[in-house]
Structure formats: C-alpha cells, structure tokens
Structure 1
Amino acid sequence: MTRFDAADTGARCKLFAEAVLAHRNRGSQFLTIEVDAEDAPGIDPDADDPEPVPWIQFADETFNLDCSDAELDRLKGLLSEFPECRIEKIERPDEAEGANVRITARSDANRLGQFADRALQATYELDDDYRAWVTQV
C-alpha cells in the first residue's frame, strides 16, 4: 500500500480492498479504517475531548464496528445488498451506549472493500465525499 486515505467512492473502495489484501498478505491481527474527523457528523475535532470517529475493523473474515440503535438499523438494511455478509454477533456492554456488531464477510478483497465503504457511509450517514483513513494494517 502506498496511500492511506481516500475521499471518493472509487478511491475508497480501492483503498479498502488494498488494505484487505495487505492485511491478508502480512497476516496482521486486523486492519482499521477510520472516518476523517472533519467528515464525521456530530464530531467537533477541535473540542477538548472530541467524540471518537466512526471506524470499522476487519480480521479473520469478520468486520467489527460500534453503533447506536439507529445506526444498527441502517446497517441491517444494508445487508440485503451484500448476501455474503451476515451479522454474527451483537454485544451491548453495560458500560457503553449502543452495540458492538460483528459481521461475517466471506468474499474477495474488492467486494469486502465495497462493503466497508457502504457500511461506513450508510451506518453513519456520511456524505458521498467523506474521507477515510486506513490507520492500521
């Protein structure tokens, strides 16, 4: 991988697919994609204690992300477009608001990249030109 961020659909999908391949080739523990704080709704990056940005991780054919109940509903609605992806587990820790969702995803890197992009965009209601960063591979 030679670049780590992208801000349009085609470039993000390509970046995410390359990250999946790099993750698999390196045998790394997981890969992490984060939305740029400037593009995340409700996030003030200049705040003294800003909210965490939306993120998604991938490892062992599983995506992992945190979301509110409304975000979870949007994520569930997206799954009909990706039959190779299904919710494996939803955890609702007592000390956290919302849920941690694990989605089993068995497909090629390009399709996984498409899913990561659509999952971030649909779940967190991001604009088409949101910027995302691959922060860990």
Structure 2
Amino acid sequence: MTRFDAATADGRRELFADAIRAHDERDSAFLTIEAAGNGANAGNDAGSGSESTPWVQFADGTLNLDCTDDELDRLKSLLDEFPSFTVDDLTTPEDVDGTNVRVVARTDDERVGEFVDRVFQRVYNRPDGYRAWVTVV
C-alpha cells in the first residue's frame, strides 16, 4: 500500500479494498479505518476536535464497530440494503454507553469497501467529502 487516506467516495472505496488486500497479504491481526469528525476540520485530520473518531475494524471476514443506540438503528437499516452482510454479535457492556457490533461480510473486498464507506456516511453521519484513514493494516 502506498496511500493511507482518501476523501472522495471512489477513492475511499478503492482505499478500503486495497487495505483489506494488504491486511490479508500481511496476515495481520486486524485492519482499522477511521473517519474524520463532522466539524470544521472534517476533511483535514482524523480525530480532530472533541468528538470521538468513528472507526471500523476488519479481520477474517468480520467487521467490528461501536454504535450508540441511534447509530445501531441506522446500521440495521443500512444492512437491509446489503444482504451479504449480517450481524454476528451485539455486545453491550454494563459500564459503557453503546453497543459493539460484529458484522460478517460474505462478499468481495470491493463490496466491503463500499459498505464501510456507507457505514461512515449513513451510520456515523459523515459528509460526502469526509476523509478516511487506514490507521492499522
């Protein structure tokens, strides 16, 4: 991999698919993708501002992400559009607000890339031009 961020839909989806292939080739434990915040710096820097930075991890055909109750509702709605993706596990720790979601992806890398891009936009409400980073491969 020679690039680790992108800010257009096509660029992000290609980046995510390339990162999945690199993750598989390196046989790494997991892959982590982060998206910039919604504020004034949304296109400039991952983790800018005080809000938490949404992330998605991928390993062994499974996506892992944390969601608030509202985000979980939006994720379930999005999953209706992607029948090759199914919720495998929902974990809600007592001492934490939100739910950890594991989604199994039974499809190719490009479709996973498209789904992850849509997760950032629909579930985490990132704008069309948000910047995403592959932070761990």
Regarding TM over 0.5, the answer is: yes
Q: Which runs of 5+ in 2 are unaligned?
A: none
SS of structure 1 residue aligned to 2:11? helix
Task: Give the Cα–Cα distance (whole angstroms) in 1 for the partners of residues 42 and 100 of structure 2.
Answer: 22
User: Percent identical across equivalent pairs?
Assistant: 52
Cα distance, 1:94 vs structure 2: 1.0
SS of structure 1 residue aligned to 2:95? coil
Task: Give the Cα–Cα distance (whole angstroms) in 1 for the partners of residues 117 and 82 of structure 2.
Answer: 12
Cα distance, 1:119 vs structure 2: 1.1
Alignment of 1:88-99 (within 5 A): 88-99=88-99
What do residues 62-120 of structure 1 show as CA deviations (whole Å, max 9, x unaligned)? 00000100000001000122111001111001111110000000211111111111111
Task: Give the Cα–Cα distance (whole angstroms) in 1 for the partners of residues 120 and 100 of structure 2.
Answer: 14
Which residue does 1:72 correspond to in 2?
A: 72
User: 2:31–2:134: 8 Å Cα contact kept in structure 1?
Assistant: yes
Task: Give the Cα–Cα distance (whole angstroms) in 2 for the partners of residues 17 and 26 of structure 1.
Answer: 14
TM-score, structure 1 as length reference = 0.91
Task: Give the Cα–Cα distance (whole angstroms) in 2 for the partners of residues 26 and 111 of structure 1.
Answer: 21
Which residue does 1:15 correspond to in 2?
A: 15
Task: Give the Cα–Cα distance (whole angstroms) in 2 for the partners of residues 106 and 70 of structure 1.
Answer: 25
Cα distance, 1:45 vs structure 2: 2.9
Task: Give the Cα–Cα distance (whole angstroms) in 1 for the partners of residues 95 and 2 of structure 2.
Answer: 38
Alignment of 1:5-84 (within 5 A): 5-37=5-37, 38-39=41-42, 45-46=48-49, 50-84=50-84
Aligned residue identity for 2:82: F
SS of structure 1 residue aligned to 2:63? strand
Going by fraction, where is helix more abundant, 1 or 2?
Answer: 1
- Structure 1 segments (4+ residues) deviating >3 Å: none
1:102 and 2:102 aligned: yes
What do residues 40-61 of structure 1 show as CA deviations (whole Å, max 9, x unaligned)? 9xxx835xxx343000000011
Q: Which runs of 5+ in 1 are unaligned?
A: none
The number of equivalent residue pairs is 132
Task: Give the Cα–Cα distance (whole angstroms) in 2 for the partners of residues 69 and 114 of structure 1.
Answer: 23
